[in-house]
Structures are given as structure tokens and as C-alpha cells.
Amino acid sequence: MMSSNCDPVEILVAAHCLLNPLTRVRGLQPIPYCVVGPTVQLPCPEFLYLGPERWAVTRNQLDLPKFRRFCRMLITHYADLLEMLVRRGARLRIVGIAGSPSCGVYTTSCGYEGGIVGEAQHERVPGRGVFMEELMAELERRGVIFQAAEVG
């Protein structure tokens, strides 16, 4: 899987909402991002697990065994695809969302600890979101090399 000048093809592995802002929590603006070249769009675990009517959550609210199992179920086929692409010579660049409880690569969120729904303090903290943590752990387990970045 080489480009015409014999350089490996870079595959963008994008958090879902970079390409489809309709899955973002209501009230969050789309993240401007220009996609160039081959792209794999990851599923949005929060949208699929909590639905479109969800409110903003933090990593500590999602860091549960059942949500982690759900994320691992979602990534299995994607990890297979990415592993096969890398075996054919592709390079992977995973792009997540800064501060996301699911798709943060270098920063995630914490702070809300339950109780009556209302204004809550969400704080960006170092660390990965639950979904990216599971995806990257699976790729590392398989020996799949990737680069990672986040936007937003």
C-alpha cells in the first residue's frame, strides 16, 4: 500500500464527530477539520450508548466496566481493519477530540460526580478518553504502530 512516490500511505483514523457533527452533544459547535486522503471514521460510542438526547458527561461517569465492554465491542472490527492496513504498509494517524470523555487522546474531562442535573464543572485533565484508551490498548496489544493527535 504505497503511494506513487513509494512513501507509505497515511490513513487518518478520525473520531466520528470530526466528520459528522450531528453526533456531538447538543449545544457543542462542530470542530473545523479538513480531511485529506484515505480516512477511517470511528463510531461515536457516546451517541450509540447514550443516544442523541444525552447531556455532557465526564470520563469518570463513563469509566465503567459495561461501557468499556461496549467500546471494545465497537472497536474489534476497526482494529482488524487497521491491523491489516498497517501490514500492507500504511501508516496510521489517529485523531481524537481534546477534552472528550470518550475520544480524548491527550486530554479528557472529569469533575461531575452525580446528583441533581444542573450546571456542572467539567475540567480538562491529562489522559485519554475511555474509547481511545480501549482502541489504542487493542492496537498496542496487536503490535500495530500509530501516531496520535487531538483537535478541538
What's the rounded Cα separation, in Å, for the pair 18 and 6?
Answer: 29
Buried b (16+ CB within 10 A) or exposed e, 75-84: beebbeebee
Instruction: Determine the pLDDT at residue 115.
Output: 66
Q: Considering only CA atoms, which of 39, 30, 63 is closest in space to residue 134?
A: 63
31, three cell numbers: 470542530
Q: Is the pLDDT of residue 38 over 90?
A: yes
Q: Is the pLDDT of residue 77 over 70?
A: yes
Contact between 13 and 92 under an 8 Å Cβ cutoff? The reply is yes
For 15-19, 53-57, 86-90, 99-103, which range has the lowest pLDDT when averaged over its residues? 53-57
pTM over the 0.85 mark: yes
pLDDT class of 127 with cuts at 50, 70, 90: very high
**Mean pLDDT computed over 1-26:** 84
